[in-house]
Structure 1
Amino acid sequence: MSFTFDELDKQLIDLLQADSSISNKDLAEKVGLSPSACLSRTKRLKEMGVIKKFAAIVDEKMIGYEVIAFTFITLSPHNRDITNAFLAKIKETPQILECYNISGSWDYLIKIAAHDLAHCRDFLIDTLLTFPGVNKIETSMVLSTDKRSFSLPFGLDKSQDTV
C-alpha cells in the first residue's frame, strides 16, 4: 500500500522517529502547526498504519541481557502447518526479539537476547530446537554494536540515498 505524504507528514515522522516522547505542543511548534492540527495529523498517520507504535528503546545490558545473538534456522518439512506452528512459538517467546523470513540457504533469521553465554546455549538447546520443524540452526554472537538505528531515512528523497 502506498501513501502520498506532504512535507509536514515527513517532518512529523522524522521528528517522532528521533524522539517519540516529544510533547504534541513541542512537535506542533517544530513543524509550524497548531497543537490540534498536529495531533490530528499524528493520529491519521497512526490510523493509516504508517506509525505502528510508540516505544521506549531499552539498553539490554542495563537490564541484564549481556548476550545478543543472531540465529539462522532451516525448517523441515517445508509446509504451511509446520511454518504456522513454528511462527506461533516464535511469537510467544519473549527472548526472541525479531524474526525474519529470508531468502537463500536459510528459512529464518532471529535475534535473541540472553543473560550470558550459558543462558543462550540453554535457550538454543532446550527451547529453540524443540520448536516445530526446526531442522538446523547456526548462531552468531554479537561482539559489539557499531551502529543501531530505529529511524528510517524517510525525509530523504531517493536521489540522496547512498549505496
Structure 2
Amino acid sequence: MAITLDNTDKAILRELQKDASISNLDLSKKVGLSPSACLARTKNLVETGIIKKFATIVDEKKLGMETLAFVLVNLTPLNRETIHSFLEHINGLPQVQECYTLTGSHDFLLKVVAKDMESYRDFIIDSLMQDCAVSRVETSMVMKIEKRTVYVPIDEV
C-alpha cells in the first residue's frame, strides 16, 4: 500500500537521501520548516516505514574488498523449508550484502563482496555451499562499478 507524500515530505526525503547525516536544523532550513516541524515530519517518515533506516555507505575497495560478484543460486528441493533455511544461513554470512528472491530459472540473486578471488572461492565452497539445499551457483564477477546509488526517485511518487 503506497503512502501519499506531500511536497514537504518529498523534499525531506530528497535531502536525507543526499546526506543522512544532515542535522535537523540544516534540514529544516533546506526544506523551509521550523526545526520542530521538520523533526516531527522526519519521525513520521520513520514510523510509517518510508525511511527504513539511516546507514553509512562504506567504500569496500578502500577496505581491501576488491572482489564484487553477483551470484545466482538454485535450491533443491525448492520448498518453504529449504527457502527458510537458506535465508537464515545467508543472513549469517557478512559477505552477502544483498539477497533477492527471483522468478525464472534461478531462485535467488546474491550480491557478495570478498577480499580477492581466493577469498571469494573459499566463501563459495566453505560457506555458501554448506547449505545442503544449494544445488547450483552461477557467478558473474563485477569488472567495474559504473553506477551505484541507493537513491529512490522521489518525484515519481
Instruction: Give the structure-2-normalised TM-score.
Output: 0.97
Aligned to 1:161: none
Change (3 A) 1:42 1:70: same
2:155 counterpart SS class: coil
Alpha-carbon distance in 2 for matches of 1:51, 1:72: 29
Aligned to 2:50: 50
Tell me, yes or no, if the aligned pair for 1:76 and 1:135 is still in contact at 8 Å: yes
Alpha-carbon distance in 2 for matches of 1:132, 1:93: 16
Aligned to 1:13: 13
Deviation per CA, 1:45-92: give whole Å up to 9, x if none: 000000000011100011110001110000000111111100000111
Give the total of aligned pairs.
157
Deviation per CA, 1:1-37: give whole Å up to 9, x if none: 2211100000000110111011100100011100000
| Match status 1:4 vs 2:17 | no
1:27 counterpart SS class: helix
The aligned amino acid for 1:71 is: V
Alpha-carbon distance in 2 for matches of 1:156, 1:78: 36
1:25 counterpart SS class: helix
* Structure 1: tracts of 5 or more residues without a match: 158-163
Tell me, yes or no, if the aligned pair for 1:85 and 1:132 is still in contact at 8 Å: no
Alpha-carbon distance in 2 for matches of 1:69, 1:137: 12
2:154 counterpart SS class: coil
1:77 counterpart SS class: coil
Tell me, yes or no, if the aligned pair for 1:11 and 1:155 is still in contact at 8 Å: no
Alpha-carbon distance in 2 for matches of 1:27, 1:132: 49
Tell me, yes or no, if the aligned pair for 1:114 and 1:120 is still in contact at 8 Å: yes
| Match status 1:139 vs 2:131 | no
Aligned to 1:34: 34
- TM-fit CA distance, 1:155: 2.0
The aligned amino acid for 1:107 is: D
Q: How does 1:45-124 map to 2 (within 5 A)?
A: 45-124=45-124
- TM-fit CA distance, 1:95: 0.7
Alpha-carbon distance in 1 for matches of 2:124, 2:39: 44
- Aligned CA RMSD, in angstroms, stands at 0.9
Which 4+ runs in 1 deviate beyond 6 A? none
Report % sequence identity: 50
- TM-fit CA distance, 1:154: 1.1
